[in-house]
């Protein structure tokens, strides 16, 4: 079957850098580009647009498009001008004459993903963020057919739950809490192994299900819980990127690598989700709070360089909204944009996102907004 193809619209060329004062094109944007295996839609958009996430706004006006999310290795993108004089990036139909006797036929393969799939894949397929209530209802490992405290490949696990005969399951362990201040929003759940059910159980009759361990990342322990590998997991490669129109105010509460500082292509966790009307593909700005300054008779200085008394004044002032004393004035500086991220897995009040652009290292605690 002939694969569907798609085109990226471009807002402008170097000679016409702005359309509707919202989109710009880079001066070095190529006139032609051949899509390669390993490319992402973000990569290609970034070749042309200064705000790559804005390409869906233009795609909907392109009559060429059958499915705007599918671009394939081998597609030839050509920067042209439409009948109204507007620049547009079109897709070569796949046949290009090189001489009277030679031509190239573009070979199609798998559509390229929006972002690097190798980084997203573990989160899309396996890793979960679950609340305490959700964890209480999930089947758990009771033990194995070996009198070992930890189980490995080939062991049979006995699971407290009515599992599906022949079903493939992931075995998980409760990890660190994802916290917003003192509130726990969810718990990280990390994959420790996989297995397949060899005998369905019946919990009402006191019969556990039997699961044979196929693969392990860590030794499996009693109390680990079991979920179908397909449960709640949408293995998407393409996302329709857009900035939300509603006001968004949240922050980064954790990172996938558990570091406190990280760069582009890192996975982070946000204290935002579908409750804020966010969806997979939502693009948000990352903001960094500039350092607080305390001004007194010795002049202005950063809070960390101030005296203990001035620091106490700054802390108390922040709590009660009173930033000035008789001798000191506290200046709370504005926040500045340091990057962008895109949500790729959204729960009610928590989301996984990938940092897609940075001007400074990103940190846990940085704010996110539209």
Q: What is the mean pLDDT of residues 48-55?
A: 73
| 33-37, 150-154, 219-223: least confident range | 150-154
Domain ranges of the chain: 1-91+106-112, 118-228, 249-289+336-369, 293-333
pLDDT confidence tier of residue 38, bands split at 50, 70 and 90: confident
Nearest alpha carbon to residue 109 among 71, 68, 72: 72
Q: Which residue has the higher pLDDT, 322 or 367?
A: 367
- Provide the mean pLDDT of the chain: 77
Q: What is the mean pLDDT of residues 159-177?
A: 93
Q: What is the mean pLDDT of residues 190-217?
A: 93
Q: Which residues pair with 141 in a beta bridge?
A: 159
Q: What is the mean pLDDT of residues 304-323?
A: 55
pLDDT confidence tier of residue 347, bands split at 50, 70 and 90: very high
Give the pLDDT of residue 320. 46
Q: Which residue has the higher pLDDT, 231 or 29?
A: 29
Give the pLDDT of residue 246. 93
Nearest alpha carbon to residue 354 among 284, 271, 290, 304: 284
Q: How far is CA 116 from CA 121, 190, 278, 290, in A?
A: 9, 21, 21, 31
At residue 247, does pLDDT exceed 90?
yes
Q: What is the mean pLDDT of residues 20-37?
A: 73
DSSP 3-state of 132: helix
At residue 275, does pLDDT exceed 90?
yes
Give the pLDDT of residue 257. 78
Residue range 72-112, pLDDT digits in tens: 888 888 777 667 665 677 776 654 444 443 333 334 457 77
pLDDT confidence tier of residue 236, bands split at 50, 70 and 90: low
Give the pLDDT of residue 319. 45
The rounded distance, in Å, linking the Cα atoms of 13 and 232 is: 43
Q: What is the mean pLDDT of residues 292-312?
A: 72
Q: What is the mean pLDDT of residues 292-316?
A: 69
Give the pLDDT of residue 47. 85
Give the pLDDT of residue 138. 94
Counting residues of the chain whose pLDDT is more than 90, the rounded percentage is: 35
Give the pLDDT of residue 65. 45
At residue 63, does pLDDT exceed 80?
no
Give the pLDDT of residue 84. 65
Give the pLDDT of residue 283. 93
**46: phi then psi, degrees, rounded to nearest 5:** -70, -20
At residue 179, does pLDDT exceed 90?
yes
The residues, any chain, with a CB within 8 Å of residue 88's CB and separated by 6 or more, are 7, 9, 10, 58, 62, 79, 80, 81, 82
Q: What is the mean pLDDT of residues 162-174?
A: 93
pLDDT confidence tier of residue 35, bands split at 50, 70 and 90: confident
Q: Which residue has the higher pLDDT, 306 or 233?
A: 306
At residue 61, does pLDDT exceed 80?
no
DSSP 3-state of 52: helix
The rounded distance, in Å, linking the Cα atoms of 171 and 4 is: 37
Q: How far is CA 321 from CA 66, 249, 318, in A?
A: 55, 20, 5
Q: Which residue has the higher pLDDT, 187 or 104?
A: 187
At residue 25, does pLDDT exceed 80?
no
CATH class of 249-289+336-369: mainly beta
Give the pLDDT of residue 78. 76
DSSP 3-state of 339: strand
């Amino acid at each position: 079957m002939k694969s569907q193809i798609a085109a990226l619209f471009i807002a402008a060329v170097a000679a016409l850098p702005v359309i509707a004062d919202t989109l710009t094109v880079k001066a070095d944007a190529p006139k032609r580009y051949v899509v390669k295996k390993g490319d992402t839609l973000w990569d290609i958009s970034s070749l042309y647009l200064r705000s790559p996430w804005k390409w869906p706004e233009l795609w909907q006006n392109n009559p060429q498009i059958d499915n705007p999310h599918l671009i394939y290795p081998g597609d030839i993108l050509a920067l042209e001008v439409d009948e109204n004089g507007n620049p547009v990036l079109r897709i070569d139909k796949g046949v290009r004459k090189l001489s009277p006797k030679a031509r190239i036929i573009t070979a199609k393969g798998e559509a390229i993903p929006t972002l690097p799939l190798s980084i997203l894949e573990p989160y899309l397929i396996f890793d979960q963020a679950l609340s305490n209530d959700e964890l209480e209802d999930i089947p758990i490992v009771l033990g194995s057919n070996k009198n070992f405290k930890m189980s490995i490949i080939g062991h049979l696990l006995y699971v407290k739950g009515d599992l599906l005969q022949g079903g493939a399951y992931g075995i998980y362990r409760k990890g660190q809490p994802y916290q917003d201040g003192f509130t726990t929003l969810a718990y990280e759940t990390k994959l420790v192994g996989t297995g397949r059910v060899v005998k369905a159980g019946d919990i009402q009759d006191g019969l556990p299900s039997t699961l044979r361990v196929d693969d392990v990342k860590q030794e499996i322990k009693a109390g680990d819980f079991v979920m179908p590998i397909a449960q709640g997991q949408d293995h998407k490669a393409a996302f329709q990127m857009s900035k939300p129109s509603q006001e968004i105010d949240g922050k980064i509460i954790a990172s996938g690598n558990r570091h406190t500082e990280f760069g582009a292509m890192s996975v982070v966790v946000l204290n935002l989700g579908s409750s804020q009307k966010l969806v997979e593909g939502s693009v948000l700005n990352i903001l960094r709070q500039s350092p607080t300054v305390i001004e007194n008779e010795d002049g202005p200085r950063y809070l960390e360089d101030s005296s203990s008394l001035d620091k106490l004044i700054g802390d108390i002032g922040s709590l009660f909204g009173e930033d000035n004393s008789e001798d000191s004035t506290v200046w709370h500086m504005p926040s500045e944009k340091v990057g962008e991220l895109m949500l790729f897995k959204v729960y009610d009040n928590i989301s996984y996102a990938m940092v897609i652009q940075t001007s400074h290292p990103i940190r846990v605690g940085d704010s996110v907004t539209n």
